[in-house]
Structure 1
Amino acid sequence: MPISRVTKLYSVQDAKIAALTADPAGGTATYDAVIDVPGIQEMSISGDVEVKTLRGDNKKLASNATISNIQVSVTHAKLSLDVLEAILGGTVTDSGTTPSQKSIWDLTGDTATLPPFKLEGVTPPNGVDIVGGDLHWVLHKLTLSAFPDLGFANEDYRVVSFTADADPLLSNDKWISAVLNETAVEIA
């Protein structure tokens, strides 16, 4: 008997992104190594539906609806230069030796590529109704829809956030997946 398809969703424990490196029509999408989204706080998924209504004879005759967009908003507690490089482009360079090491993320006109990426978030074990299970949200192909919210806050922590729009993969037409596991698994 299959597991229940109905569950609560409690919290988010982890999220990772990976740059989409290939998406051939009829082939298999490939991704770079996963990068941790540090201090994940929230992953909110929404969408837009476009409705067309047919009217005639002074009344509604029919209506059709299509999904026109899926969007995700992510808030995380810590800045990651590797995440910035994966979602915005740019380059990260490391230099120096202790005690003068540096990591620098630079975004230039030539490197601001807004590359496509995958995002996967997961509940903690027991964050679903299945004891020991979890749920993963996977958005297979995202592109930033706005510049990330960065900067500082006066006398407070500054969290980082970004929003991105989903597109279907060319290889299998997937936009989003919800994976409910009987036994919790880490993001791979």
Structure 2
Amino acid sequence: MPISRVTKLYSVQDAKISPLTSDPSGGPAVYGASIDVPGIQEMSISGEIEVKTLRGDNVKLATNSAITNVEVAVTHAKLSLDVLTAILGGEVTDAGTTPAQTSTWDLTSDNATLPPFKLEGVTPPNGVDIVGGDLHWVLHKLTLSAFPDLGFANEDYRIVSFTASADPLIANGKWISAVLNETAAAIA
């Protein structure tokens, strides 16, 4: 008997971004190594639907709807230079030796590429109705839709956030997946 398809969703425990390196027609999408989104706090998924109505003879004859956009908004507690590179472009350079090491992220006119990426988030174990289970949201092909919210906050922690728009993969048409696991599974 299959597991229930209905569940609560409680919290988010982990999220990872994977650069999309290849999306060939008819053949599997290929992703780079997963990068942790540090201190994930929220992952909100929304969409837009365009509705067209056909009228004639002074009455409504038909209605047709189409999904025109899927978007995700992510907030996380810690800044990651590797995440910035994966979602915005740029380059990270490590230099120096202890005690004067540096890690510098530079965004230039040549490397601000807005590369496509995958985002996967997961509830903690028992964050769903299935004891010991979890749920993974996977957005297969995203591109930033606004510049990330970065900077400082006066006398407070600065929360980092970004929004991205989804496109269907060329390889298989997938935009978004919800995977409900009977046994909790880490993000690969």
Q: Same fold (TM over 0.5)?
A: yes
* CA deviation profile, 1:57-97 (whole Å, cap 9, x unmatched): 11111000000000000000000000000000000010000
Task: Please state whether the residue corresponding to 2:11 is helix, strand or coil.
Answer: coil
In the other structure, the counterpart of 1:169 is 169
In the other structure, the counterpart of 2:139 is 139
**C-alpha separation between the residues in 2 aligned to 1:28 and 1:135?**
23
1:151-170 alignment, distance < 5 Å: 151-170=151-170
Q: Which runs of 4+ in 1 moved over 3 A?
A: none
In the other structure, the counterpart of 1:52 is 52
Identity %: 82
In the other structure, the counterpart of 2:73 is 73
Q: So what's the TM-score if we normalise by structure 1?
A: 1.00
> Is 1:64 equivalent to 2:64 in the alignment?
yes
In the other structure, the counterpart of 1:89 is 89
**C-alpha separation between the residues in 2 aligned to 1:90 and 1:10?**
34
Where does structure 1 lack aligned partners over 5 or more consecutive residues?
none
**C-alpha separation between the residues in 2 aligned to 1:155 and 1:20?**
37
Where does structure 2 lack aligned partners over 5 or more consecutive residues?
none
CA RMSD of aligned residues (A): 0.3
Task: Please state whether the residue corresponding to 2:15 is helix, strand or coil.
Answer: strand
**C-alpha separation between the residues in 2 aligned to 1:115 and 1:33?**
14
Task: Please state whether the residue corresponding to 1:155 is helix, strand or coil.
Answer: coil
**Length, aligned pairs only:** 188
Structure 1 residue 123 displacement after superposition: 0.1
* CA deviation profile, 1:91-147 (whole Å, cap 9, x unmatched): 001000000000000000000000000000000000000000000000000000000
In the other structure, the counterpart of 2:21 is 21
* CA deviation profile, 1:13-49 (whole Å, cap 9, x unmatched): 0000000000000011000000000000000000000
Q: So what's the TM-score if we normalise by structure 2?
A: 1.00
